[in-house]
Structure 1
Amino acid sequence: MYGVAHFLKNSKKPEIIPIVVILGGALSGAVYMSVRQARAPDVAWDHKNNPYPWQDIKEGEQVKLFALNQKYDGRWERTKW
């Protein structure tokens, strides 16, 4: 992070700042979505001990990324990695 701050401080062109901000936002959004999708209930990381992780989801648990006008009792959490 020191390199980016040093680059922005020593840069004489202020038009570089929006590019860095937009790229930083896009990269952090991509990392967030990647982590979120890797922890989804239908992703199986351990095929020997838990080959069907989607069967551990109980009725009324929210597993969707975005749900409109739906009431859920609880949110699904991964217990086994």
Structure 2
Amino acid sequence: MNFFQLLMKKKELIPLVAIMTFAASGATSFAVYSLGKTDVILDRKKNPEPWEHVDPTVPAKLVTINQEWKPIEELQKVRRATR
């Protein structure tokens, strides 16, 4: 029996199939979107230590509300002392 014939015979499955198709396409599109972000490392040979090139002014969250970056004074003192 063909899939579409089954759906026409049992019409109560149509909303379930529609919701599952929408959820699967949303999950797939988010996975493809996440692979394009710079936080995801696919090739470790080009950038073996990515944490050394992190810009603290760029938010790394999906949603950032009222973020204000200020340098920590104690950390700046330690950096000046170790140079």
Q: Which has the higher strand share?
A: 1
Please give the alpha-carbon distance, in whole angstroms, between the structure 2 residues aligned to 1:43 and 1:33: 13
Provide the aligned C-alpha RMSD in A: 3.1
1:29 paired residue number: 26
Whichever residue aligns with residue 20 of structure 2, its letter is: L
Deviation at 1:71, TM superposition (A): 6.5
Whichever residue aligns with residue 37 of structure 1, its letter is: S
Normalized against structure 1, the TM-score is what?
A: 0.55
**In the alignment, structure 1 residue 63 sits paired with structure 2 residue 60:** yes
Q: Which has the larger radius of gyration?
A: 2
Q: Deviations over 1:25-51 (max 9, x none)?
A: 211122133223334444322222211
1:43 paired residue number: 40
Deviation at 1:24, TM superposition (A): 0.9
Q: Which has the higher helix share?
A: 2
Greater RCO between the two (CA within 8 Å, min separation 6)? 1
Specify whether residues 69 and 14 from structure 1 end up closer, same or farther in structure 2 by C-alpha distance, changes over 3 A only: farther
Deviation at 1:68, TM superposition (A): 2.9
Identity rate, percent: 37
Deviates more, 1:15-24 or 1:29-38: 29-38
**Contiguous gaps of at least 5 residues in structure 1:** 73-81
Specify whether residues 39 and 56 from structure 1 end up closer, same or farther in structure 2 by C-alpha distance, changes over 3 A only: farther
- Find the residue that maps to 2:11 and give its secondary structure: coil
